[in-house]
Amino acid sequence: MLNFQDFFTNCAGLWKTERIYHFLLKGDIERSYTEFRADSLDAAQKQQILKTASPSGELAGIRLDLDQAALGHTCPGFAISFDTESERGEKVSMSLKALFVPDALVLHADERYQGLALPVAAQVSTAPESEVIQGFYLRDEGYSEAGAIAGRFTYQPIRQTLEMTTFYNRSVAVDQMRFIAPDVRMRTIVTYQRPPAGETPTVIDLIGFGVERKS
């Protein structure tokens, strides 16, 4: 069973992924191949992302205990770059940095991040005896929308599973990765249409499945 830090240590490296996407509203299916590299962030890179949550940053409204966060090992993060090619020949390349900040380091989050109704695919047990770790998933660039963005994450040690939920302007994405061997992960993504404020996302637009192998 991988603890929180071990999970991220094992994620570093070059991964190759075969995925299949089901576009439920269009009735379409698409396959793709992706190679992506994840490298652990150094202290300076982590501080750069943490500044986006400062009062003058792009993610102002999340107040963090920066003294603890600055310790580095408390908040794992990656510089991620990938190249994807679909079976139709469409190519996409992207790079971004992501930092995972446990709720224990969050002093305050304003109304933008409070009371977001999680879709079924993102709900986990939060009982007192649960070992689930939750927090904010900070990125300097979103996948489907440009600019810095904050999502929520949960990590379930007993399942060796990391789940990331992002509320975009028009959609809600639930991305999950689970280790089933040291060099093999299962990957799923479920994307919903974003409903009016306060309502739970229920209309599924896309479901994707993938197998990732470490090179």
**pLDDT category of residue 128 using cuts at 50, 70 and 90:** low
| pLDDT tens profile 108-117 | 887 777 667 7
- Among 122, 101, 123, 8, residue whose Cα is nearest residue 51: 101
Dist. CA 172–CA 204, nearest whole Å: 9
- Token pair of 98 as six digits: 């992501």
Distances in Å between the Cα of 167 and the Cα atoms of 25, 30, 47, 201 are: 19, 24, 24, 10
Question: Residue 118 — pLDDT band, cuts 50, 70, 90?
Answer: confident
Residue 62 tokens, joined: 């999340």
pLDDT tens, 132-165? Answer: 899 998 988 767 666 788 889 999 988 899 999 9
160-193 b/e (C-beta count within 10 Å ≥ 16 → b): bbbbbbbbeeebbbbbbbbbeeeeebebbbbbbe
pLDDT digits (tens, 9 = 90+) for 179-198: 999 999 999 999 999 998 88
Do 175 and 163 form a contact (C-beta atoms < 8 A)?
yes
Contact, 145 vs 132, CB < 8 A?
Answer: no
Question: What are φ and ψ of residue 57, in 5° steps?
Answer: -85, 170
Element (H, E) at 6: helix 4-11
